[in-house]
Structure 1
Amino acid sequence: MPENSESPEDGRLSQGEKADLEELKKEAVENGLDTGALDEERLTKLARYFDEAISFSRHIGSRVEKVEPGRAILYIDVEDHHLNGNGTLHGGVYASLIDNAMGISVLSKVGLRAATIQMDTRFLGPVNGGRIICHAEVLHRTRRMATAQGSVYDEEGNLVAMGTGTFRVFESEGVTSV
């Protein structure tokens, strides 16, 4: 396969895409993504990193719509492979979207590496198609911990899932989103 060809259908990255992602990581370190709340340029790079470099997010189709310090909006366009045996959105898809959105909201505020250490999800209504969108925000932050909340809405604006999470903030060097 040529180096700059499109991704294989199995979801693996081409050599060209891998090189692009390595460049994104390098830029993130050079531009100080690990030094505090992120400015507009770094927020854009964080969103791009999640959309393009995080393989699980790409796999489930999670996309960043908006990110600002302490807040994030992500969405998924529901497809057949997102559905459970009842023909409705699998709970793991809701949970993954909420976790991603809360995680990005934390990273955008703290500018340091963070990891989910606890998460609680409530499933409030079924979805069997269309777009789901998650609004997340940081509710509380200390030096080493952050608490965030995420709410998922269907296309009609109905609240269909929500969650809260606790995130460990790491004060070590490294790229925010690696």
Structure 2
Amino acid sequence: MQHHSIAINDIPPSPFAGEPPDMFFGLPMAMARAMALRGERIGNDMAQVRLGFQPDQANSRGDVHGGSIATLLDCTLAAAVRSHDPAAYGVATIDLTLHFVTAAGGDLIATAHCERRGRSISFARGEVRAEDGTLVALATGSFKLIARRQD
């Protein structure tokens, strides 16, 4: 598998900028508030999400816990999969593979790209970097697109 970093400048700013902390790219998600996830950019089959550092999510060394990094990647890859119409689709994770590269503290920034979007199943890859650009983790995943009901 050849891996290329995702150019943040290729991801449009989020049309959902300023949304409440319990929203995630236009969809209600209480976990976004609990995990301090902020959707920063979405579009062009890509997404960027920031995980705000919280001491309650640190491991015994004071770095961001791997479970928090896994959640960040899951949410970011899922956002990339629905980036073509973020408010119209939710997703269900089918498979997520993670590779932890190094430990990090502070805010973490994940970027992801939807590699292939099918009618119901889509595939994405992504990475997490510390604010100084250090690669923290890589992931690939497959997701089921779920059309949201219009209320």
Fold conserved between structures, TM > 0.5: yes
2:76 to 92, 101, 105: 101
Q: Could you say what secondary structure the match of 1:92 adopts?
A: helix
Number of residues of Structure 1 aligned to a counterpart in Structure 2? 132
Decide which structure has greater strand share. 2
Query: Does the alignment pair 1:153 with 2:129?
Result: yes
1:81 CA drift (Å) = 1.1
1:46 CA drift (Å) = 9.2
**For the Cα contact (< 8 Å) 1:47–1:64, is it kept in 2?**
no
Q: Could you say what secondary structure the match of 2:82 adopts?
A: helix
**C-alpha distance after superposition, 1:58-112 (max 9, x if no partner):** 1010101111131110011212112112322111110111111111111122643
> Which whole-Å CA distance do the structure 1 matches of 2:89 and 2:60 have between them?
39
Q: What is the RMSD computed on CA atoms of the aligned residues? A: 2.3
**For the Cα contact (< 8 Å) 2:17–2:40, is it kept in 1?**
no
C-alpha distance 47-62 of structure 1, shift in aligned 2 (>3 A): same
Query: Does the alignment pair 1:91 with 2:66?
Result: yes
1:156 CA drift (Å) = 1.1
1:142 CA drift (Å) = 1.5
**For the Cα contact (< 8 Å) 1:122–1:163, is it kept in 2?**
yes
Task: Tell me the TM-score normalized by structure 2.
Answer: 0.77
Query: Does the alignment pair 1:50 with 2:50?
Result: no
1:144 to 120, 124, 135: 120
Decide which structure has greater helix share. 1
C-alpha distance 116-135 of structure 1, shift in aligned 2 (>3 A): same
Q: Which runs of structure 2 are paired with 1:67-86 in the superposition (5 Å)?
A: 67-86=42-61
Structure 1 gaps of 5+ residues are 1-39
Q: Which residue of 2 aligns with 1:61?
A: 36
% identical equivalent positions: 27
Amino acid at match of 2:115: L
Structure 2 gaps of 5+ residues are 1-11
Q: Which residue of 1 aligns with 2:98?
A: 121
**For the Cα contact (< 8 Å) 2:72–2:110, is it kept in 1?**
yes
Q: Which runs of structure 2 are paired with 1:165-176 in the superposition (5 Å)?
A: 165-170=141-146, 172=147, 174=149
